[in-house]
Amino acid sequence: MEPHATTLAEVKAQAEACTACRLAERRRTVVFGVGNPQSPLVLVGEGPGEEEDRTGVPFVGRAGKLLDQALMDNGLDRTDVYICNTVKCRACDWRDGKPYNRPPAPDEIAACSQWLDQQLRIIAPKVILCVGAPSANTIIRKGFQITKERGKKFSCAYAKTAIATLHPAYILRQMGAKSDGGYSLLVEDIALAWMEAQLG
């Protein structure tokens, strides 16, 4: 484990050299986080996909565009919040020389928690919005049931309030002719998180 750093830039630099788990072997970029580190609201997703691995920016693929839309529907954009992920490197399996995205494994999440932990302690937000189950399982509690427990307020080690919401990639899979896939819930949960973040 690296010695404890004191600024976000130092933690980022240390994370960029991390080889604590197998994801370091094939990553192109360590996707650390973007946005306003002074914001009272931090969004924590699952982990980078292909586009994020290529660009170094979280949530820039299809799911990211939906997240941007949900922020916009609340009158917000990426400069109002800070956005990062539970794991900083792309989790994928390689078959026939090709990468296939997969959820991060528990040991990868555990190996990466040193970076998330320091990042959240330095930013010290009022509210954390956990975007998806791996984030809620890491930040709120193990066994968190996202579809049953989303949109509710919890306490956590890093902020006065933690709220979980549906992952936009899940919403995209559920969307159909008759359903918004839960998009309105994502918008609602961001609204609640932002309102809580404005409280003293």
- Burial of 56 (C-beta count, 10 Å sphere; 0-12/13-18/19+): middle
User: In the complex, what is the shortest distance from the CB of residue 4 to ligand URA, in angstroms, rounded to a whole number?
Assistant: 25
Looking at the Cβ atoms of 54 and 126, the one nearer to ligand URA is: 54
Minimum distance from residue 99 beta carbon to ligand URA (Å): 14
131 has which bridge partners?
A: 165
CB of 46 or CB of 196, closer to ligand URA: 46
Q: How far is the CB of 200 from ligand URA (least distance, A)?
A: 30
Q: Which residues bind ligand URA (CB under 6 A)?
A: 45-49, 52, 58-59, 61, 63-64, 85, 132, 169
> How far, in whole angstroms, is CA 184 from its chain's centroid?
19
Instruction: Work out how close the CB of 178 gets to ligand URA at its nearest, in angstroms, rounded to a whole number.
Output: 25
Q: Which is nearer to ligand URA, 8 or 160 (CB)?
A: 8
Establish how many alpha carbons lie within 13 A of residue 74's alpha carbon, considering only the half-sphere containing its beta carbon.
23
Looking at the Cβ atoms of 27 and 160, the one nearer to ligand URA is 27
